[in-house]
Amino acid sequence: MQLLIIDDDSRFRSQLKRMVNWADYGYSSIFDAASGPEGLRKIIEGMPDLVVLDVKLPKLSGLEVIKQARSQGFGGKIVIISQYSRFEHAQRAIRYGISGYIKKPVNPDELADTLRRLRPARISAASRRFFYCIDATPPADDPDTPSFDWPACRERVYEFVISGQHEPINGMMAEAEQFLRANNVAVQKATAAILQLYCAVEGKLHELYPMIIERTDTVALLTAFGSMHTLKQMTSFICQRFHSFVKALQIGGHDSIAEKVCTYINTQYTQPLTLSVLAGAFNYNSAYLGRIFKAHTGESFNAYLERVRIEKAKELLLNVPDKIIAISEKVGFTDIDYFCKRFRWHTGETPSEYRIRKGLP
């Protein structure tokens, strides 16, 4: 695979090349660029598998490079390296399909973890021969059969898993099975389609939750499929696996993600935070993340955020001589009247009354 590093600091580019053994992660060819325009040109000409770039680049910013590369058909993975906070780029990163974010100075362990997360699952040649061809064209593309949207099917199953919806998973798999059965798709090709579906969903879940969702051993997976003789057995097996992912996320993922959101709010409360922004940053459905957060904290996202901001405002009122309007802005409120109203709701007094009661002018 090919790697492209884009950064205007030649010393940093050299350090990054030596920081890890890139070959261990599948990158045999490494190229670099010193500016935005040069980097964009090399992306379009070479279509590398991974681009690692700084946000702040001369002549053309990193985000603009990404935007233009995506618009010109680049579909590879992208990792941002920047001195700035993740929040400043979260929304655009989500929009442009960025795979990772590493803050400067780069920690070698964090870089290695990111590369492990991005490393694609590999299936041996023997396994490919065993199952005809796991990369075979899905039966939906066969001109002799009606179409079936396999990419949409994979995406919907993935969404059902992360949102904890068991029945829709069963329904989606039943729909896929019905399509294969109704069109008399050959066993080997049907097997390849179902296996592709499973590997795609599992791979995406593993990328997002590497400590919770482990990749299935290829030999074990192929052995399991090889012992099945009917389409029903295959789809039932896959459904069971997807249900096990739901359970694993519920047990191991909810408290962890809720804690991360709490930490994010506690440190970034001055920013214009919304549940949808954080849900996108953490790759969650916003409604589902809201339910997880409330179950963990006992409060809604907005209530928790507001409480944190009011507590920070109380601290500032007692420790800095700033005007009330300045303090309201420092804790993330954009409307002074609304800040005073909410402060009174939480404390029973206005910010000025709170200061006076505490013996401050």
The beta strands (E) that lie in 73-227 are given as: 77-82, 100-103
Which residue has better confidence, 105 or 39?
39
Model pTM above 0.85: no
Range of the domain at 145: 125-252
130 with 248, same domain: the answer is yes
Fill in the DSSP letter of residue 138. P
Tell which phi-psi region holds residue 40, choosing left (phi > 0), alpha (psi between -120 and 50) or beta.
alpha
19 with 90, same domain: the answer is yes
What pLDDT does residue 254 have? Answer: 56
What pLDDT does residue 207 have? Answer: 74
The pLDDT tens digits of the residues spanning 288-314 come to: 788 888 877 889 999 999 999 999 999
Which residue has better confidence, 57 or 248?
57
Token pair recorded at residue 24: 């261990």
The pLDDT tens digits of the residues spanning 112-153 come to: 888 887 775 444 443 443 344 344 444 444 444 456 788 888
The beta strands (E) that lie in the chain are given as: 2-6, 29-33, 50-54, 77-82, 100-103
Among 98, 118, 138, residue at a domain's last position: 118
Token pair recorded at residue 347: 């404390």
What pLDDT does residue 348 have? Answer: 94
248 with 259, same domain: the answer is no
pLDDT band at 163 (very low <50, low <70, confident <90, very high): confident
247 with 260, same domain: the answer is no
C-beta of residue 57 within 8 angstroms of C-beta of residue 6 = yes
Task: Report residue 164: phi and psi, to 5°.
Answer: 70, 30
Residue whose tokens read 């809201």:
290
320 with 333, same domain: the answer is yes
Residue whose tokens read 């047990």:
251
Find the Cα–Cα–Cα–Cα dihedral 269, 273, 277, 279, rounded to 10°.
Answer: 60
Residue at 215: amino acid letter? R
- Give the contacts of 294 (CB within 8 A, at least 6 positions apart): 300, 301
Which residues does residue 33 pair with via DSSP β-bridges, in sequence order? 6
139 with 110, same domain: the answer is no
In this predicted structure, the answer to whether residue 43 has a pLDDT above a threshold of 80 is yes
pLDDT (mean) for 314-342: 93
96 with 154, same domain: the answer is no
> Distance between CA 43 and CA 6 in Å, rounded?
10
Among 189, 223, 252, residue at a domain's last position: 252
305 with 237, same domain: the answer is no
Q: What is the CATH number of the domain that holds 57?
A: 3.40.50.2300
188 with 221, same domain: the answer is yes
Among 58-67, 117-126, 165-174, 286-295, the range scoring the smallest mean pLDDT is 117-126
Cα distances (angstroms) measured from residue 341 to each of 270, 319, 336: 18, 21, 9
pLDDT band at 88 (very low <50, low <70, confident <90, very high): very low
pLDDT (mean) for 201-210: 78
pLDDT (mean) for 198-211: 79
Among 103, 118, 133, residue at a domain's last position: 118
Question: Which contiguous run of DSSP H or E holds residue 146?
Answer: none
141 with 59, same domain: the answer is no
What pLDDT does residue 51 have? Answer: 92
30 with 147, same domain: the answer is no
- Which among 219, 238, 197, 191 is positioned nearest to 127, based on CA atoms? 219
> Distance between CA 25 and CA 46 in Å, rounded?
19
What pLDDT does residue 144 have? Answer: 46
pLDDT (mean) for 24-29: 86
Among 60-64, 143-147, 259-263, 323-327, the range scoring the smallest mean pLDDT is 143-147
Q: What is the CATH number of the domain that holds 283?
A: 1.10.10.60
> Distance between CA 160 and CA 224 in Å, rounded?
24
Q: How many domains does the chain have?
A: 3
Mean pLDDT of the chain: 81
What pLDDT does residue 223 have? Answer: 66
- Give the contacts of 34 (CB within 8 A, at least 6 positions apart): 6, 7, 8, 10, 13, 58
200 with 293, same domain: the answer is no
> Distance between CA 88 and CA 63 in Å, rounded?
11
